[in-house]
Amino acid sequence: MKVADLPLLVCVDDESEVLDSLHRLFRHEFRVMPFTDPKKALKFISDYKKEIPIIISDFKMGPINGLDFLNTVKLKAPTSYRIILSGQIEIQHLSDSINDQIIHKFFMKPWDNEILKIQIKEVLQTRELMLEKERYKHLSITDPVTLLTNHRFFQESLSKELALCNESSPVSLLMIDVDHFKKYNDTHGHPAGDKLLQNIAARIKDGLMNIPCTVSRYGGEEFGVVLPFANKEEALRLAENIRASFEAIPFIGEDGKNSTITISCGVATAPTDTMDKAELINIADKALYKAKAEGRNRVCA
Ligand SMILES: [Mg+2]
């Protein structure tokens, strides 16, 4: 394997002898980037475009301590494993930093070469597993067509918000359905239908920009929006904005032709309508059904 293909290992220590030892120890498994100056290391980490699996830092480095350094690193490279390698550190400091997830591991100086190698290998494996877990978690809540969150996430987020809901902190639910979507699908084919769903998802999100909410694909051509802090009036206003934006701007299909797509929307609000999740969905669904029955392209509560 070429050095450039090896995973990156950033090492920061104010003693260049320590950096030399680490470089000798890991040069076959990693592309070692040594820094005696934490500021330069931080600049490198911030500018680096790809992932840095592991960052090892000394604790005492002149005026800067390794925990503060790694705390800043955490923001710049959240998926990197952050390790302190030090001979002198206060236990309380260390314990707090692990609890706050500023660092993942602490290894003692002086170290045994073979042991440190095994420990770093372990860290690399742990990180891989953690990233894989994250990927699965992401997949399990993502709708593959629209890349919105899916039905499962919708149910979870509605439960969470309802648990925090009260008179002064209402939660509203929008159920949005695309009018005559089946017809569009039949005319243009399923790939074009999927593309349209993606564009619809984007437009719904645009209409709710800077509004705290979760937009999920509920199923088929139906979308569920959970709006914490929104009372009925506010939810109706937001729904109406979205509806109007669909009516006003047609979608451009793959064939370059414009299609005006409209949506119907049902609105329900907790606690005024109900505090029960299933009941709230049911009420929003009924309102949506009413909007359809009254001729579509409208919002009903
Ligand atoms: Mg030092």
- Please check whether residue 253 is in contact with residue 198, taking contact to mean a CB–CB distance below 8 angstroms: no
- The answer to whether residues 157 and 232 belong to one domain is yes
CA–centroid distance, 12 to ligand 1, in Å, is 9
- Host domain of residue 237: 151-300
CA–centroid distance, 43 to ligand 1, in Å, is 20
- The answer to whether residues 161 and 281 belong to one domain is yes
Q: Rounded to an integer, what distance in angstroms lies between the CA atom of residue 236 and that of residue 141?
A: 27
User: Structurally, how many domains does the chain consist of?
Assistant: 2
Q: Rounded to an integer, what distance in angstroms lies between the CA atom of residue 121 and that of residue 127?
A: 10
CA–centroid distance, 103 to ligand 1, in Å, is 17
In the chain the beta strands, taken as DSSP E runs, fall at 8-12, 31-35, 54-57, 60-61, 64-65, 81-86, 105-108, 171-178, 214-219, 222-228, 251-252, 258-259, 263-270, 299-300
- The answer to whether residues 64 and 168 belong to one domain is no
Question: Among residues 15, 221, 240, 279, which one is catalytic?
Answer: 221
- The answer to whether residues 59 and 167 belong to one domain is no
Residues 8-67: tens digit of each pLDDT: 999 999 999 999 999 999 999 999 999 999 999 999 999 999 999 999 999 999 889 999
CA–centroid distance, 16 to ligand 1, in Å, is 10
- The answer to whether residues 14 and 114 belong to one domain is yes
CA–centroid distance, 85 to ligand 1, in Å, is 9
From residue 152, give the alpha-carbon distance in Å to each of 17, 200, 211, 274.
Answer: 53, 20, 22, 21
- Please check whether residue 264 is in contact with residue 285, taking contact to mean a CB–CB distance below 8 angstroms: no
- The answer to whether residues 13 and 80 belong to one domain is yes
CATH number at residue 281: 3.30.70.270
Looking at residue 122, its pLDDT comes to 96
| Helix ranges, 141-180 (H) | 151-163
Looking at residue 89, its pLDDT comes to 80
- The answer to whether residues 30 and 102 belong to one domain is yes
* Residue 144 in domain: no
Looking at residue 154, its pLDDT comes to 98
Domain stops at, among 139, 170, 197: 139
Looking at residue 62, its pLDDT comes to 87
Q: Locate tokens 């999920």: which residue? A: 216
CATH number at residue 26: 3.40.50.2300
- Of 96, 95, 72, whose CA–CA distance to 82 is shortest? 72
Per-residue pLDDT of the chain (301 residues; tens, 9 = 90+): 777 889 999 999 999 999 999 999 999 999 999 999 999 999 999 999 999 999 999 999 988 999 999 999 999 999 999 999 998 888 888 889 999 999 999 999 999 999 999 999 999 999 999 999 999 999 999 999 999 999 999 999 999 999 999 999 999 999 999 999 999 999 999 999 999 999 999 999 999 999 999 999 999 999 999 999 999 999 999 999 999 999 999 988 777 788 899 999 999 999 999 999 999 999 999 999 999 999 999 999 9
CA–centroid distance, 63 to ligand 1, in Å, is 10
The two three-digit tokens of residue 286, written as one number: 């009924």
Residue-level length of the chain? 301
- Please check whether residue 143 is in contact with residue 216, taking contact to mean a CB–CB distance below 8 angstroms: yes
CA–centroid distance, 4 to ligand 1, in Å, is 28
CA–centroid distance, 15 to ligand 1, in Å, is 6
CA–centroid distance, 152 to ligand 1, in Å, is 49
> Any catalytic annotation for residue 221?
yes
Q: List the 81-86 sheet strands across, edge first.
A: 31-35, 8-12, 54-57, 81-86, 105-108
Domain stops at, among 139, 159, 190: 139
Residue 226 phi, psi dihedral angles, 5° rounding: -100, 125
Looking at residue 88, its pLDDT comes to 81
3-state secondary structure of 183: helix
Looking at residue 21, its pLDDT comes to 98
